[in-house]
Amino acid sequence: MKQFGKYLFILIFYYFGDLSYGKPFDTDLYLEKFGYLDEKQPGKQHDEQSRKNAIETFQEFAGLPVTGQLNEATLKKMLAPRCGLPDVIKPSDRIPPTGNKKHDLRQPLQFNAPGYKWDKKQVTYKFAGFTRQLPASSQRRAIRNAFSKWEAVIPLTFREVSSGNADILINWVYRSHGDGSPFDGLGGTLAHAFFPGESDISGDTHFDDQEVWTERSKEGTNLEIVAAHELGHAIGLGHSNVDGALMLPFYGGYDPNYKLNYDDIRGAQSLYGGKQAPRPTPRPRPPPRPTLRPRPTSRPRPPTRRPAPTQKPDDEDKCSIKFDDIANGPDGRLYAFRYRKVYKFNSNDVGIERKFPRNVRKVFPKAPNNIGAAVYDRFNRKFYIFKGSRYWRYSYNFQLDPGYPKRLRGWYRSIQAALQEDNGEIRVLKGSEMSVWREDFTNPPRGYPVNINRGWPGLRSDLEAAIRYRRQSYFFKGGNYFRYNDRYKKVDYRKAKAGPWLGCGRVEPK
């Protein structure tokens, strides 16, 4: 009976929509509006495979189990209050796939919208109108507080003006209001903002006046939190799919202690750089201690023993090796590194491909032995290898790019592990710390490095390898690996890696 009720719920919503507000809900229109489906050609319908792919992409972006089916959880998420901007690049505009990985076909919208940013240090804004639901002073305070979240992490300032032209116009409107993006009444789309650029509406931010806007209340929709999200778009950011990020498209309710997530900060600083952190005041040095003469001793020194011969890394049994690092490859395979060798995993990602391991330089020309870290940037299609104070960059077919290796500076020297998050951010680990990295970063952006436990609570230090694999994070140390649960911010389990990764003994799922 319970199962019948579940299917009845899905059937009602699929055909009749959100009955509580008396308006039909068109799933195809929703998927088109937010980038998951191309717009229908006149007189044509979407084929079932396109619709299934779109639902899978939405489920993946929203952190739901990927089934391709329009189930209850998926419909519930679609009906959640949200921002009016797209989440992903529509299928016809995506980069063609290069391998056999599904995520090539579901390429997410890059977090920072390339080319959309303000070319000035001070941005002005003006209220073109107000809502009658809150005092004007409350609305001004909410917008000011929302701007201050971004001001704290990037070198932009925002100033309200009451007359003349302004870079950003803020207004409360409803239904069709002249910008080509009509609102839909109570529920659904709450607000939208336009990226910086050369058009007349660049940066403009609109709130649906048919929503119930509140402040410091769990009732209705909190204006300040929605404004902080929309103003992220107004400075050039797209949507994030990182759990806890302010730039998630879905409204998560009132949180009096809301703040920018590391992903929000990384996105903003990738456009504008970080604010210059104040220099710490140097501590006075203590006076030198007096040198004490060592006492004479008549004890004979013990004889020096030669260390026992150790097994060379190249002679290690494959089922007992430690990874220097492990990375996804542009061909959809996994590559693990150990001293002079590279191991290519087979198509099932369990066990080693024939003719491997191979000398690392046979696969990656001029690569160093005993690498520090490796990571594949799937958005820019570049493979990076790090060691000491240098990094190597490889393009198609693992060809070393001209001008590489290049220098790493400051904290970025001696990176131990690296992985790329689903939003494209490359995170690098060293000792007990983690930072974000891009080629144009000479130093970590403001707020980094941070303790590894800030990014992955409960994770240990001095990790030797890391990878993002099938939307899960894995970390390696010694003969073990750890799977990390991003949703619940904890280590799921620790296992011996020989079986699941190297195809040795009893092979268990990863």
Q: Is 230 a catalytic residue?
A: yes
305, with CB counted inside 10 A (0-12, 13-18, 19+), is exposed
Beta partners for residue 222, in sequence order: 214
**Contact between residue 85 and residue 20 where contact means Cβ atoms under 8 Å apart:** no
Q: Which helix (H) or strand (E) segment is 499 a member of?
A: helix 498-502
Rounded to 10 deg, the angle between the 136-151 and 223-234 helix axes is: 50
Catalytic pick from 211, 224, 230, 464? 230
DSSP string, 131-163: -TTS-HHHHHHHHHHHHHHHHTTSS-EEEE-SS
Place of tokens 């201690």: 289
DSSP string, 79-114: TS-EESS-SB--GGGSPPP-SS-GGGTTPBPPSB-T
Helix or strand or coil: residue 246? coil
Backbone phi and psi for residue 207, each to the nearest 5 degrees, phi listed first:
-115, 140
CA distances from 323 to 276, 312, 472, 480, 483 (A): 37, 14, 18, 10, 16
Rounded Cα distance between 439 and 426, Å, is 10
Spell 190-200 as b/e; 16+ CB within 10 A means b. bbbbbbbeeee
The candidate with the shortest Cα–Cα distance to 417, out of 491, 324, 313, is: 324
Ramachandran bin of 424, using left for φ above 0, alpha for ψ from -120 to 50, beta for the remaining angles? left
HSE value, Cβ hemisphere, 13 Å, CA-based, for 427: 25
**Contact between residue 202 and residue 196 where contact means Cβ atoms under 8 Å apart:** yes
246, with CB counted inside 10 A (0-12, 13-18, 19+), is buried
Catalytic positions, please? Answer: 230
